[in-house]
Amino acid sequence: MALSRGLRCCQRVFSWIPVLIITSVMLWSYYAYVFELCIFTITNTLEKVAYLLVFHVCFVMFSWTYWKSIFTPPATPCKKFQLSYSDKQRYEMEERPDAQKQILLDIAKKLPIFTRAQSGAIRFCDRCQVLKPDRCHHCSVCETCVLKMDHHCPWVNNCVGFSNYKFFLLFLSYSMLYCVFIAATVFQYFLKFWEGELPNGPSKFHVLFLMFVALMFFVSLMFLFGYHCWLVAKNRSTLEAFSAPVFVSGPDRNGFNVGMRRNLQQVFGEDRRLWFIPVITSQGNGHYFPLKSRSSESRNPLLAHEDMWEESDDGSEGSLGEDQDPSVTIEMEE
């Protein structure tokens, strides 16, 4: 037991190494650009001030989105998806797989669950003891079920999912912008140092290396950002791109694809002024998503019942409206 805890503690410590690497590169790039390039190399005051102003805007947005990607906790299923004590006892005492499957199916009729396991059963996490909402998966690193899990990213030491997917996309975009701006403004001084027009010194190393690092990171980020833009356009997660979600009617990679505009709004929200700011604007609460076969809000109430699983002011869990029978919704889907 003590050895297991020690290994787990070491794993948690080592998991921060990629974050420390990125942070170190960020801090070095700040020093190299601000001091070695702008202060010690550039002589034109107007050019120096313009570069510093734009650079700091890019650096702040880059750092802000990276921080939000790292420290936004993964969203987990609410208590409505946990088995009650009686249901748990009934499930554990039942030894027949078909009977267990039926127990979970009866419980799921009270919940907005439309996806199934490959076997056709309701998706259930034995470790977290919860019925998995649509697009929810268990992360073995975070040791919890994550709503709309995309992947576990070692570079942010966090699960990328419903709660921070927008922040992750903004982090990729602002990091690309940061690299492009550095490469574009450093290029002329890179050539001058390379051709010997500027004197050798500590600044030469920093400027040359800054150019190489910016280009290297930009190329890497460009492919990753392009891939995630494609995923957003199709309304898929990375996991769903590799393994199509299974519905009652069978697997369907486009099961959650409700059109380009609504796909974007699910991640970034309806207010376009907030799309590029790392604040929470994603639609819904991660427990329910519109389906391709139900594109109208009246039949697929992501917005009409946006807070149906939110906790109320007195701490009690939200529930479906009195006029809405979830079993009817399930039967319509089947």
- What positions carry a catalytic annotation? 153
Phi and psi at residue 145, in whole multiples of 5°? -85, 135
Task: For residue 23, give both structure tokens.
Answer: 């942070």
d(CA 35, CA 191): 19
d(CA 63, CA 295): 37
Classified as helix, coil or strand, 45 is helix
Q: Up-side HSE of residue 81: CA atoms within 13 Å toward CB?
A: 26
- CA–CA distance, 81 with 118 (Å, rounded to integer): 20
Cα gap 73→15, rounded to integer Å:
16
Distances (CA, A) of 316 to 130, 278, 325: 18, 29, 20
The distance from CA 325 to its chain's CA centroid, rounded to whole angstroms, is 32
Please state, as a whole number, how many other Cβ atoms lie within 10 Å of the Cβ of residue 87: 15
CA dihedral of residues 155, 157, 161, 165 (deg, nearest 10): -40
Residue pair 149/133 in contact (Cβ under 8 Å)? The answer is no
**Running DSSP on this structure, what letter comes out for residue 32?**
I
How many of the other CB atoms lie within 10 Å of CB of 251? 13
Give the 3-state secondary structure of residue 164: coil
Distance CA 114, CA 291 (A): 9
Please name the amino acid found at residue 106.
D
| Tokens 């833009």 -> residue | 229
